[in-house]
Amino acid sequence: MAFENPSREEIKEILLNAGNIAVVGLSDKPDRTSYMVAQALQQNGYRIIPVNPMVSGEILGEKVYPSLSDIPEPVDIVNVFRRSEQTPPVAEEAVKIGARVLWLQLGIFSEEAYEIASKGGLTVIMDRCIKVEDSILIGKRS
């Protein structure tokens, strides 16, 4: 069966019910897309959990973890800023930690990651920007 993203209404529900968003590949450089997207989500009330094995300390005031498995609390959405071919292991880890959603950013698509995550019970969104979807579907939270 061919992959199809959830409907806009389903995506809206996912965002409304999301608390913790682990951002895999979040850069500590403010000019990078991952940083700008995470910052916008944080400013709109989401809790961002940076995941980047190359960075220690904090990004956007939050402790950075080397992997999803190192995060000591539940994760609702795993938002991925990695090349498509690097996403299957991220999908496996997302299943292992019990995340609810695997979200591959705009330009990222992997049938293999989709199959791993969906078989593990996760909702999968691919080739969509979470910041854009949040802006369109939710807007500014009060």
* Tens-place pLDDT, residues 69-113: 999 999 999 999 999 999 999 999 999 999 999 999 999 999 999
Q: Locate 5 and state its tokens.
A: 């993203």
State yes or no: pLDDT of 60 exceeds 90. Answer: yes
Residue pair 101/90 in contact (Cβ under 8 Å)? The answer is: no
State yes or no: pLDDT of 142 exceeds 60. Answer: no
Helix (H) or strand (E) segment spanning residue 119:
helix 111-119
Among 94, 81, 75, smallest CA distance to 20 is for 75
Q: How confident is the model at residue 34 (pLDDT cuts 50, 70, 90)?
A: very high
Positive or negative torsion for Cα 46, 36, 97, 67: negative
State yes or no: pLDDT of 117 exceeds 70. Answer: yes
pLDDT for the residue numbered 139: 78
Report helix angle 8-16 to 130-137, nearest 10. Answer: 90
